[in-house]
Each structure stands twice: as structure tokens, then as C-alpha cells.
Amino acid sequence: MNELAPILSVEDLTVDFLSDGAPARAVDGVSFEVRRGETLVILGESGSGKSVSTSAVMDLIDRPPGDIVRGRISFDGARIDGLQGEARRVINGRRIAMIFQDPLAYLNPVYTVGRQICEIFESHGVASGRAARERAMDLLKRVGIPEPEARIDQYPHQFSGGQRQRVMIAMAIALQPDLLIADEPTTALDVSVQAQILDLLRDLQGETGMALILITHDLEVAASMADRVIVMNRGTIVEAGEARKVFTKPRHAYTQKLISALPHGDAAESSNRRSTTNSGETVLRVENLTKEYVVSSGLFGRKKSFLAVKDVSFEVSKGETLGIVGESGSGKSSVARMLLRLNEPTAGKAIFNGEDVFAMEERGLRAYRRKVQMVFQDPYGSMNPRMTVRAIIAEPWSIHADILPRARWRDRVAELLELVGLKPEHADRYPHQFSGGQRQRIAIARALASEPELVICDEAVSALDVSIQAQIIDLLADLRTRLGLSYIFITHDLPIVRHFADRILVMKQGVVVEEGPTSTIFGNPSQAYTRSLLDATPVPKWLETA
Amino acid sequence: MTAITNAASASDPAGRARTFFNCLKRDRLALAAAIFLVILAIATLAGPLLIGDMAAKLGLRQRNLPPFSLDHGWLYFLGADTLGRPILARLVVGAQNTLGIALAAVVTSMLVGGVLGLVAGYSERWYSQVIQRLADIIMSFPSLLLALIVLYTLGPSISNLIIVLALTRIPIYLRTTRAEVLELRERMFVSAAKSMGARPLRIVLRHIAPMALPTLLTIAAIDFATVILAESSLSFLGLGIQPPEFTWGAMVANGRGYLATAWWISFWPGLAILLTTLSLNLLSSWARTMADPQQRWRLQSLRKASR
């Protein structure tokens, strides 16, 4: 076996997606290869064509609307594009395996985890019955699931997000594939869990010598894993090469922009995103906010309760940005939902401009919901897919009839689109026709439409790649200066808020563990938990080995 | 995939109508269905004025006349029934009652069931439970028996028939709508609308109902045939349409005894029911695709890149 020959090579792959009129090119002339034991990272923002490229390798593109215009895909010396039926099944799963971003969506909820792993062995005729179960047990042990003897008979919903991703990895490596494709495997996970999953992938690769293609939008993940990197933008490869070179001496302008946009990169240091106009006038004051969920186990089971949020208090002044940082389950989103009265609090007070939010009746609440807007994590999910961008942005005006007369809607939509850096002619399109960053801009335009005083951003940039994150944060900072807004910026990613927030609240398991000015939190954190959040950021691979 | 396509914006009404027609043209089956329904509608509205008398004209010499002969005039092309009346004329005249009753019953049950389903799904108050239990009661009661009791007490008439037929179909729409609403109300864009201060009525009408409607239309199209047949079985029991009025369902029932000797008496009205339902089905599935911006490409011209 020649170690240097590439296990997979893709040459001049071009994929279109057909729609009315001209086809849209998703991938244009992409070529790459990966060798055994090597990690290739495909880096790019959503819509850059990175997932489409690897879907073509696995023949997962629906045609139509997909259309493979040209390209050669060779695996282990033989062409595999165009393979169908049995010949395809021999390769998919057995020799090339894939793991996805959202393991819950890919695990069947009605079968136990063990059953689903055994099925892989059985469907490929490798082992069955007791033998398959034993191998499944070994796999679970290998991927670091504690007490595999007990967990093997549990269902996917009984596992945590990180553990589900481990189960997915166990299924992917079950047949010892030559190539593992990981499509954003850690995007949905917290930073500390992300580090564990990346370690696991690295260890497995060291043991089995498989090739790994990692698709990600996260520069830090890319840097910590890659031997070689290809950077994609708008369907083409803009830069390719050895990871160290690409990251330290980027040649293409797009890569340079990406690298400099890193939260602790140079551009971020010099940019002035923090607010300058802090008047000290309090907009929102929250006191002892508490949310208790009651969970009953079974019909006559004892009722258990757990505190999602416990005694959270803070203040937001006019023109100020408050960052709330915490991992999933820390209660930070519950705080946001309660502040918008989407969920009712168990106890506590929130005073907005002198009025008690939780005591508001319908009329007062409607006025309040005009002054306070929310930008959600998933801009796609938060927009009705059947409405055009124009209708989406105009919705606040049709809800609150007194903001703007209908005759002016058209012009104002155009103005708002320009304000967030989009074009007025985008108004007649539907949300699915935009990239992730563009959708988040639309969501921001909608939030600004009702001329709010306070905008709550719940993980508003977490799903975007760093350069887009930087753009969106710059946009928010600019709008704050121009319109005098206040923000509550909720995120699990501490570095993002470093140059944006004025004060930071660190939450863990529903409790505020640390609160203070941003410089103190970063420069001199008093709590061990805050330090661990700061340390969980992945370290570049070339620095680790050096 | 997320690249912006250069779809020409069709905001003016004329442009929208053209896009609409172009998309209909691309789906051949839906186009055929639409043409059939248009012809049927014209025949139903104008036919009785022109050939209405012929439908009741007895002709002993044409009793059970076989189809496909023009010897007795074009009206007898599809044959004649047991009393020698031309089937073609009777189909056209019967269409008015058949389609009128079925349409009224289906639309009523869809509207009532849909609205109740929206309420039951979105609200968490006590009446949500009451609505559901009422639906359960209607469903657990044999629908034909219910119809018999109601029509026996109220007396057979077209409006009573529509009420009874609609009543028995309501739970289907109610349950489907409620299930859809339960899923849709958890979607993020509903939370987003709520956080913008939208009233419940607006959320239901603007964000939830349009998403649930395509499912309801599909069920309604299938239900159309069920209602036509249910109406004919009631007519057969003497509780539906009273002679000399008649419907397609009654015509099928009429030919039941002659299936071995004169199949055409039942066959033609049966075929008419089948084609009408099939057309509605094809058209509703086209409309479902058309209403979803993400599926609409299926109906658009897909030009591949030259290679």
C-alpha cells in the first residue's frame, strides 16, 4: 500500500442548483485530495459550498435540484462518482463514513443506541447477535461513554449533546473506514465539550490511521485539527495549503480577512466596538429573577423541580452592552425568554423604564414588546419561510399600527436593508435564498423596524463564521452609536464579547458566578469557571506539537 | 445552495398571474386537471339551461341503450338508463346537485373543522378540551347512523343533507389542524412574532393557518369523493335527495342491479366521480408545491449549465 497516494481525490468538481432561470453555482471547479492519516480541513462560511463538495463524495446530493456539471471523484485509485446501488453501499458507511452537526436528528429516537450500532454490523454482514452487541459495547467504551454496559440499552434522548456526538462517532468508525468526513461536528456543542470531541477524533485517527476531512466555519477548530487546509468562499477554493502556512501567512485577501477577524486577532484589538455614550440612565433593572421547572416522573411519580435560573440580578443602562456568557444549560436563554415574557418567571422583578415587566397587562405588554426586540440564534428558524423579506421586515409595523403609515413601508424597508448592508431589491426574495450572515442581517433589520430601545441578542452570531461574526458585531456597535440602543448580548463564546460588551455576566447552572467590567473578566477573572471558559479555546496544532 | 438566485421579482399582478400560469403549464397533470375542472364547471352552470329537459325525458325504445352509438343523437352517445333517459344529459344535470352538495359540505366542514382545530391547538384554555372531546364523540358515533337520526328528525332536504355530511367530516379536519398547530406553535418564528407583540389572532392567521392550509386542502380533495358516495348512500335509503332530483351517486345506485347486463348505467357516473376527485387531488398537490417557496423550483424551468 502506497502511503503517499491520496485515498480520496476530487478534481474540478462543479455543482449547480437549478431554479427558475439560470442555475445557481454552488461549487465551482473544486479540487482537493486527502491522504491516509491526514486531516484536511475545509474552512468556509455557510453557503460557501463546503458541505456540497463532500456530499458529492458520498453521493448525497438530490438531483434535481442538484446538478453535477463536471468533476472526477476517485477513492483509493478507482472512480466513484456515478456509482449507484450495491456498489455505492459497499463504499458508503464501510469505507467512507460521515458524522453530522446535529446527532439527535440522525439518531433514530425509537431505537436504543446499542440497537442502532448493532444494525451497522448486521446490515453490512460483519457480525450479528451477541457478537455485534459486544463490538458495540467496545465501541461505546472506545469513544468514552461511561458505563457502556448500562448506557447501551438507553435511547438517544437520554444522552447529552456531547455524548450523542460520541455515539455518532462510534457508529461512523464501527466498520473502520478509510476516510471519515465530519461536517461541523462540534458546532452545536459547548467549548469544553468541543475540546473533548476534537481530542477523541485526533486519538482515533492516530490509532486507525484513517484520513479525516473536517468541515468547519470555526477558525480555531480548524487551526487545532488541520494538517492541510482549504479555504472556500462562494463555491471556489480561494486558498489551499499546509495549515501553518495558511494561518500564519495567508495570501488571499479573503483568508487574511478571516484570520484578522479572530476575536484575539489584530483587527479586533484596534477596532473600537465598545460603547462611548454611557449616560448612566438605567433602562432595565432585573432583580432576583428565578425560574423553576417542575418535572413529574410518571403518572404518580414524585414531582421534582429544578431551578433553571436562580436569583439573577443585573442592570442595563442606556447605550450599554451587557454580555451574558455561559454554556448550554446555564439558564442564559431562559433569562432572555422571561424578559420578553415568552416564559413566565417563578419569582423576581424586571423594571423597564420604571414599569414592572412581569405585571404588565396586554396593552402595556404590547407597548413593551415594541421597545424591546430580540434577535434569535437561528435567523432561518425565526422567520416565516413563506413570507418575503419585505413582509418579514414590515411585520412590526402591521403589529403596531401607529409606527409607520402603510404608504411609507416600501421606502422604509429599503432604508433598513441598506442600513444593515443589504440591497433594497432583496426585499422580494424569501429567507431560504440568503446565506446565514445575510439572514442574520435581515433579522436585525426586523428588530430595528420598531425603533426599539433595548435589543436582546440570543446567540445571535454563534452560527456564523468569524469574519461574518465580526461584521455583524461591527454593525451592532455602529447601530448602537447611531441610534442609542442598549444590548443584552447572550453567548457561549467568551472571546466574541471581549471587544463588544461593556460589562459581562458569567452564568453557570442558573446562577451568576461572576459579574464585572469586561476588562476585569478577561484580565483578572476571580472564578475558576471563568478561567476554564477562557482556556477552552482550541490551540493551533502546529503550536501544540512544537 | 444558499446563493441568491436571480428570480425576476413578480410583484405586479400581471406578472404574478403569468408566473402562476407558467408554473401550471410545467405540471402537465395539474394542467389537465385544471382544464377538466373548468369544462366541468362550465357544463354544470350552462348545461341544464340547454339540455335540462332531455335529462327527464323518458324513452321506452331507448331503455338500457348501449353507449358509443350516434343513431339516436349525440345526447345518447354514452347510452341511456333503465327508463331510456340519455346518460350524458343526466350527468350534466346531476352535476349541479352532486357538486353543489359535495362542495358545500366539504367547504363547511373544512372551515368549521379548521377554525376549531386552530383554537383547540393554539389555546390552552378549557374550551380547547371541550372541542376535542366533542370531536371524539362525533368520531366514535357511526356516521351513517348519526346522519339517519338527524335526517329522520329534521326531514330530508338539501340543506339538512349538507349539514349532516359536514358534521360527520368535521373531526377529520379538526384533528389534523390541531396536530399541525401543536407543531407549528413551537417554531421559532412564532416565538419571534410573539416577542414583537403580535396578538394571538395575528399569529394564528398570519403564521400558523397558511402553513396548515395545504394539508387541509389535500384532505378536502380526497374527502370530496367520500362525501359524494356518502350522499348517495343516504339518497339510497331515501333520506338524501328526493326524486325526481338526482345526483351522480344516485345514478350509480340506480344501475347497481344492471351491472351484468348494462354496465354503463353505473360506469359513467362512477367515472365522473373518479375524474373529479382525481383532478382536485392533482390540483391540490400542485397548489401545495406552489405555496412553498422552497419547493417552487419543481414547477419552474430548470435550465442546466452547458457542458
Which residues are B195's β-sheet partners? Answer: none
Show the cell assigned to A33: 485530495
Contact across the interface for A25 and B305, Cβ inside 8 Å? yes
Helix intervals (H) in A342-408: 362-371, 389-399
Poorest-pLDDT segment among A58-62, A175-179, B52-56, B262-266: B52-56
CA distances from A64 to A20, A86, A232, A279 (A): 12, 22, 24, 57
d(CA B120, nearest CA chain A) in Å: 20
Contact across the interface for A22 and B195, Cβ inside 8 Å? no
* Mean pLDDT, 10 residues at a time, chain A of 546 residues: 74 82 81 90 81 85 81 86 81 86 78 89 84 90 84 84 84 88 81 82 88 87 88 87 85 82 50 59 89 69 76 89 84 87 89 88 88 85 90 91 87 88 86 81 89 88 74 84 88 81 88 87 84 73 59
Q: Is A542 or B237 the better-scoring residue by pLDDT?
A: B237
Taking residues B2-16, what's their average pLDDT? 51
Taking residues B34-52, what's their average pLDDT? 88
Assess B195–A contact: CB distance below 8 Å, yes or no: yes
Residue B111, pLDDT score? 95
Residue A262, pLDDT score? 66
Domains and CATH numbers, chain A: 108-174 (no CATH), 323-342+354-543 (3.40.50.300)
State residue A72 phi and psi, 5-degree precision.
-125, 130
DSSP 8-state secondary structure symbol assigned to residue B204: I
d(CA A198, nearest CA chain B) in Å: 28
Spatial distance between the Cα atoms of B168 and B150, rounded to a whole number of angstroms: 11
Which ipTM score applies to this complex? Answer: 0.74
Spatial distance between the Cα atoms of B204 and B194, rounded to a whole number of angstroms: 11
Contacts of B307 in chain A (CB under 8 A): 69-70
Spatial distance between the Cα atoms of A431 and A365, rounded to a whole number of angstroms: 28
Residue B290, pLDDT score? 86
DSSP 8-state secondary structure symbol assigned to residue B203: I
DSSP strands (E only) in A251-354: 282-296, 303-317, 321-325, 347-352
The nearest alpha carbon in chain A to B207 belongs to A384
Q: Given pLDDT bands bounded at 50, 70 and 90, which one contains residue B39? A: very high
Contact at 8 Å (CB) between A112 and A85?
A: no
Contact across the interface for B3 and A25, Cβ inside 8 Å? yes
DSSP B36-52: HHHHHHHHHHHHHHHHT
Taking residues B200-226, what's their average pLDDT? 89
Residue A456, pLDDT score? 92
Contact at 8 Å (CB) between A327 and A488?
A: no
Collapsed DSSP state (helix, strand, coil) of residue B301: coil
Q: Is the pLDDT of residue B1 over 70?
A: no
Contacts of A429 in chain B (CB under 8 A): 4, 7, 9
Collapsed DSSP state (helix, strand, coil) of residue A509: coil
The nearest alpha carbon in chain B to A364 belongs to B197
Assess B294–A contact: CB distance below 8 Å, yes or no: yes
Q: Distance from CA of residue A363 to its chain's centroid? A: 36
Share of chain B above pLDDT 90, in %: 21
Contact at 8 Å (CB) between B225 and A402?
A: no
Q: Is the peptide bond before A65 cis (omega within 30 degrees of 0)?
A: yes
H helices then E strands: how many in chain A? 22, 20
Assess A401–B contact: CB distance below 8 Å, yes or no: no
Show the cell assigned to A367: 407597548
Range ranked top by mean pLDDT from A183-192, A293-302, B20-29, B263-272 = B263-272
Q: Is the pLDDT of residue B59 over 80?
A: no
Residue A394, pLDDT score? 92
Of A14, A381, A433, the CB nearest to B4: A433
CA distances from A144 to A112, A176, B86 (A): 18, 17, 80
Assess A240–B contact: CB distance below 8 Å, yes or no: no
Give me the residues of A, 200-219, that contact B with CB < 8 A: none
d(CA B190, nearest CA chain A) in Å: 7
Spatial distance between the Cα atoms of A275 and A273, rounded to a whole number of angstroms: 6
Assess A371–B contact: CB distance below 8 Å, yes or no: no
Of B3, B189, B211, the CB nearest to A26: B3
Residue B112, pLDDT score? 95
Non-local CB neighbours of A306 within 8 Å, separated by 6+ positions: A292, A293, A295
Q: Is the pLDDT of residue B5 over 50?
A: no
Show the cell assigned to A359: 405585571
Contact across the interface for B291 and A26, Cβ inside 8 Å? no
Domains and CATH numbers, chain B: 87-246+267-293 (1.10.3720.10)
Calculate helix-pair angle for B158-184, B126-140, nearest 10 degrees.
130
Contacts of A444 in chain B (CB under 8 A): none
State residue A335 phi and psi, 5-degree precision.
-60, -45
Assess B297–A contact: CB distance below 8 Å, yes or no: yes
DSSP 8-state secondary structure symbol assigned to residue B81: -
pTM here?
0.75
Collapsed DSSP state (helix, strand, coil) of residue A57: helix
